[in-house]
Amino acid sequence: DTEVTQTPKHLVMGMTNKKSLKCEQHMGHRAMYWYKQKAKKPPELMFVYSYEKLSINESVPSRFSPECPNSSLLNLHLHALQPEDSALYLCASSQIYLANYGYTFGSGTRLTVV
Amino acid sequence: KNEVEQSPQNLTAQEGEFITINCSYSVGISALHWLQQHPGGGIVSLFMLSSGKKKHGRLIATINIQEKHSSLHITASHPRDSAVYICAVTLPPWGGGADGLTFGKGTHLIIQP
């Protein structure tokens, strides 16, 4: 299995809703990432988990809450989002501690906040 | 100043043309990545380079570490090559761990039949 699987592919939520995005990989990668991508812009790093521990939080608002329950699974819990949070949310994974490690990206969750 | 600069930002070419996309970076890196993203889609990793040249089908990627420059070439371009091509770098793991990618702004390529 050489894929990163993201669910759902599309999500529409109201500003008072609570929802979660899910990311799964079975490649044995020990680093997992959440990126946010607005239209016609490059992705922006949100969170990095290394060995299931949060290692980087790029000053993301608390309405986004990441969770890494095990080495294969990464969640992003969403609560009280704003319309400007509408974007493509990408998950990625990679090895750690190798001089040159490749990334595998998921196909993303297209989030619309109404 | 963006640490990763790509050119051109937009490129329209005819089917069959040889395509070159350039990427320059200003910091020390562990590796450089070329990524492809189709409209509305996820990102596919095309190449990861730390030196020299790599080839996969009609795609060729080169890197010059001394000049901090990389190029992505597409030979015999086809309309299905139309996508955004993104250059990204991984910075040296000073802390020994994973730090995410630093992205260029992307090159929007359109290949017309």
pLDDT in tens, chain B (113 residues): 568 999 999 999 999 999 999 999 998 888 899 999 998 788 999 999 989 999 999 999 999 999 999 999 999 999 999 999 999 998 776 555 567 888 999 999 999 99
Question: In A, which residues are within 8 Å of B48 by CB distance?
Answer: 100-103
Whether B86 and A42 lie within 8 Å, measured CB to CB = yes
pLDDT at B93: 63
E strands, A1-114, where? 4-7, 10-13, 18-25, 31-37, 44-50, 53-57, 64-70, 73-79, 87-94, 103-105, 109-113
Helices (H), chain A: none
Whether B97 and A100 lie within 8 Å, measured CB to CB = no
Q: Which of A22, A14, A18 is nearest to A108 (CA)?
A: A22
How far apart, in whole angstroms, are the C-alpha atoms of residue A50 and residue B34?
23
Cis peptide before A69 (omega within 30 of 0): no
Q: Which of A21, A97, A110, A45 is nearest to B94 (CA)?
A: A97
Q: Which of B60, B91, B4 is nearest to A42 (CA)?
A: B4
Q: How many CB atoms lie within 10 A of CB B14?
A: 10
What's the average model confidence in pLDDT over A28-32? 90
* β pairing state of B52-56 and B107-112: unpaired
B38 to chain A, closest Cα gap in Å = 10
Find the CB nearest A90 among B40, B43, B88.
B43
Question: Token digits for B34?
Answer: 């070329």
Find the CB nearest A105 among B40, B45, B93.
B45
B9, amino acid identity = Q
Whether A110 and B106 lie within 8 Å, measured CB to CB = no
What's the average model confidence in pLDDT over A93-109? 80
